[in-house]
Structure 1
Amino acid sequence: MTTHLHILQLEEYDPIRFLKWWIANPLVFKLQGKKPLVWTPKAKLIYALSGGFWPLMFLALLILKPYEIINRKILKDKLRNKIVKLKQGGLKVIAISGSYGKTSVKEYLYQILKTKYKVLRTPGNYNTLFGIAKVVDLELDETFDYFICEMGAYKRGEISELCDMVKPDYGILTGINEQHLERFGNIENTIKAKFELVEFVKDHSNLVLNFGNELVKSHAPEGVVIYGQGKYKHPQDQNIEGAIKMAKILGVVKIVNEVVTPLHRLSVTRRDKMTIIDDAYSSNVDGFKKAVEYLKTFEGWRVIVTPGITELGKETGRIHQELGRLLKGLDQVILVGNNERTRGLKLGVGENVEYVDKVGEAMGKVQKTEATILFENDLPDNY
């Protein structure tokens, strides 16, 4: 039961997505435990209502639904009122949305702004209504000058809902691509969902948009501040530029010389004679391409270890075949798992690739002791 509850939680309590997982994995009763089951009040209620019998989880979800709807409205109203009151005292809210780069831009902006102001930001990838609400409820108070809020979405209307709750004065749109296409249905829905932030912030001079992304550029209104069109030594430099542009709008002209790259986002370390490029936090099409381009700037034996990118829907095969073609010229391609994603990558590479069942097995496959290894993406247990 706990395994199935864990998967349901990883799928954000979506019964349809859970059933798809179960059909594909009917005999899985134990997980690797990359991300443990969190015994939230909701998880405890589902477990209790289902009596430990996992098929009854669906009945438990049905019973809880009316209470969730009521609780969601009460929570939004409460926190909206709190934000409005704090803004009357001088608080400014900065929202960040996009298919990729949100967390990195948020962390860089936080590092810059905190040199002059007292700043609160949503931690990690807290970017849903309940995650943001927890931060606002427990941490945000009148002592803060700025609140940086990362906003995620799986469907249209979710960012509008978040904007209605936190009332952003400023916005950053980091880029749009096929990330979560399986959930959005099509790229047009993704574009409309991400631009809900742009529509909310009426003063376009308070908006910073990544014009290095064609989908953002082609749909942007006039008068916005732009970034992303330069040539960068490191893929994260574009995210740093976006943070700097917003900081300058807010009056922080003196920019810190060094910022710390968030963990697992193209961070480079040495291990004995090997160079490790850790981009395992998550992956998307644009990020994958930039990471591979970055790997190719290194000399010597170059290796990529990747399970591919999830939630691309019907475009999974085509996109992975396209990405696979970018891997030509690398000395080793190690694919994690044998599935539609990795088969698409292999078709694109058109050469011999190696397979492992788990990321941890990849190091044993590297053929030279002096090598540069890119770890591109690491998947949660539901994949």
Structure 2
Amino acid sequence: MLSSDIIYYSQLDGYVVKSVLTRLYQKVKDNLLNVFMCFVIMLSMYIINFDNIYFLCVYIIGSVVVWIWAGNQFEFLKKIKYTKRVLRQIVLMTILHVICFVLLVFIKDFYLAIGFPILFFIVYLIYSLTLLLLIPIEHIIGSHFVNLAKKNLRKHDKLIKIGITGSFGKTSTKEILGSILREEFSTLITPKSYNTPLGIAKSINENLKNTHEVFVCEMGAKNRGEITELCKFVDIDLGVVTAVGRQHLSTFGSIENVYKTKKELPDYLYQKPCVFNLMNKYVVNMYKDFIYQKIGVFVLPKRKLKIFKVYIKKRINRLSLKNSKTGVFCEYTKRNNVYAKNLILTSEKTTFDLFENLQFVCRVETKLLGIHNVINILLASASAMVLGVSALSIVKGIRGIKSINARLEKNKNNKGAVIINNGYNSNLDSAPYSLSSLKLFDVKNKVVVTPGIIECDDDYKCNFEFGKIIANYCTEVIIVKRKNRKSIIDGLVSKKFAKNKIHVVDNFEEVKPILNDATSDYVFLIENDLPDNYK
């Protein structure tokens, strides 16, 4: 039988055969007793000597029973996104199931009896076979759409193409840059988190018009070489590197590989400009190695301003500093820079002076929260300056951004409690930035709601460290789901965090009543979210 939960979870995993087989292994472990009971029943029926047709009828009826028993299939049917790819999978799976049933007619009773328990898991094997058989077809279809997008880009020979990559901050920087550029250019940006070849191709094929002057695309990767592939595909004219951090280490293997992959973007830019975040030590190395037009961005804290002026007077081009409390690194440069000065962060707004090469450009005001968004604004502003966008347009574009979905997105419930949604893709390096936003609120209760971090090289070690970081910023913690529960609790306890302030729930549905009933003396930060394929 077609199993909707398998298709749904596979869709979340990106249609990876390994993930399907991993889920099969877990299913076998969880249902050994059921399989044994099924085996005993069917073997007993064979001993009683029922004929083959009877077995086949039982098999078909049993399929339906198992299909419903395996989970709330009708609920999953509603969750699946019925793309053409999913429809191809359903058609092929149906054909393979029919073949299996036909073969059963010719199987002897004994083998049918002892093989019936496999019914509990056969759908996983058939779905894995389906994915394998469709690989060449999906590759052909994907190549067709990418080639069509390349053809569309070649038609727009005057189109300015900007590529943004980094372990975090890509989407926010893209949204801010798009808002600024629209003040002076007809601009297309890739929607949501579309950052793969097919996602970018879809955006180009469906949305690129003859009137567009600038195309901004987000570039993501989980393996070496994928950024180079995207750069060649789009043939970017301007690059932006937001950050290098401990993200997707389960596929990259090491932070060094993450660095090398993100560096593929500036390496591609021959005699073209690139913007770098100098608040990230890895990106600083890229900045130093880049030999063409480059702009480094950073935030200049008030307490460092005097030191900075002294170094400038002495004509020293570069100064590296690290905050001993937060561990935040920054490299200040004398030339080729765009930076923020006189920064004021509050729970309602953020303001700062924008400078370029020591010259005042404009006073910026935004509703976006936190230092991380200041960095994103600087990256976007510097990119806009490369294209000659005026200071007035930069101010208007930044002011036009009210919030970015699931990126420090601030809301309030009916009772006045603040809920900050930072549910998209947290990691150890971005977490301190988002968690520090809690310090902007003068309230008694500061609560972090989190399921922890995934795709680490060592899940326990990563979430243990995450727990230690959380302990510095909040008064209570709600840990969602079971996957990282123990490691986060261990990390919190290691920092002497009160155990009675640690709460656990199995899903986000259990958190909603807490968020709805909280009063104005509460602020909640939802730090990361895990899809349904994580328990």
TM over 0.5: yes
Alpha-carbon separation, structure 2, partners of 1:212 and 1:360? 37
Counterpart residue identity of residue 277, structure 2: N
Higher relative contact order (CA 8 A, sep 6+): 1
Deviations 1:41-72 (Å, cap 9, x if unpaired)?
A: 22111111112644211222222222233333
Shift of 1:363: 5.3
Shift of 1:116: 0.6
Work out which of the residue numbers 208, 211, 224 in structure 1 matches 2:275. Answer: 208
2:440 aligned counterpart, secondary structure? coil
1:39 is matched with which residue? 82
Are 2:133 and 1:63 equivalent residues in the alignment? yes
Question: Which sits farther off after the overlay, 117-126 or 327-336?
Answer: 327-336
1:146 is matched with which residue? 214
Question: Does the 8 A contact of 1:34 with 1:380 survive in 2?
Answer: no
Question: Does the 8 A contact of 1:320 with 1:348 survive in 2?
Answer: yes
1:142 aligned counterpart, secondary structure? coil
Are 2:428 and 1:285 equivalent residues in the alignment? yes
2:429 aligned counterpart, secondary structure? helix
1:150 aligned counterpart, secondary structure? strand
2:451 is matched with which residue? 307
2:143 is matched with which residue? 73
1:331 is matched with which residue? 475
Q: Which stretches of structure 1, 4 residues or more, deviate above 6 A after TM superposition? A: 31-35
2:382 aligned counterpart, secondary structure? helix
Counterpart residue identity of residue 132, structure 2: L
Alpha-carbon separation, structure 2, partners of 1:326 and 1:72? 41
The number of aligned residues is: 378
Shift of 1:34: 12
Deviations 1:221-247 (Å, cap 9, x if unpaired)?
A: 234211134446323111111111101
Question: Which sits farther off after the overlay, 255-264 or 191-200?
Answer: 255-264
Pairwise mapping of residues 179-198 of structure 1 onto structure 2 (< 5 A)?
179-198=247-266
Question: Does the 8 A contact of 1:270 with 1:276 survive in 2?
Answer: yes
Gaps of 5+ in 2: 31-69, 98-122, 302-342, 346-369
Counterpart residue identity of residue 37, structure 1: I
Alpha-carbon separation, structure 2, partners of 1:86 and 1:228? 34
Shift of 1:144: 0.5
Alpha-carbon separation, structure 1, partners of 2:222 and 2:286? 20
Counterpart residue identity of residue 10, structure 1: L
Work out which of the residue numbers 96, 117, 127 in structure 1 matches 2:164. Answer: 96
Counterpart residue identity of residue 320, structure 1: N
Are 2:92 and 1:49 equivalent residues in the alignment? yes
Counterpart residue identity of residue 8, structure 2: H
Are 2:402 and 1:260 equivalent residues in the alignment? yes
Are 2:532 and 1:381 equivalent residues in the alignment? yes
Alpha-carbon separation, structure 2, partners of 1:208 and 1:35? 43
Counterpart residue identity of residue 447, structure 2: V
2:284 is matched with which residue? 217
1:83 is matched with which residue? 153
Deviations 1:289-341 (Å, cap 9, x if unpaired)?
A: 11211113322211111001111132x222222221122252111101222x2
Counterpart residue identity of residue 194, structure 2: Y
Counterpart residue identity of residue 213, structure 1: N
**Cα RMSD for the two superposed structures:** 2.3
2:12 is matched with which residue? 10
Counterpart residue identity of residue 199, structure 2: G
1:256 aligned counterpart, secondary structure? helix
- Percent identity between matched residues is 32
Question: Does the 8 A contact of 1:94 with 1:171 survive in 2?
Answer: yes
Shift of 1:35: 9.5
2:321 is matched with which residue? none
* TM-score normalized with structure 1 length: 0.92
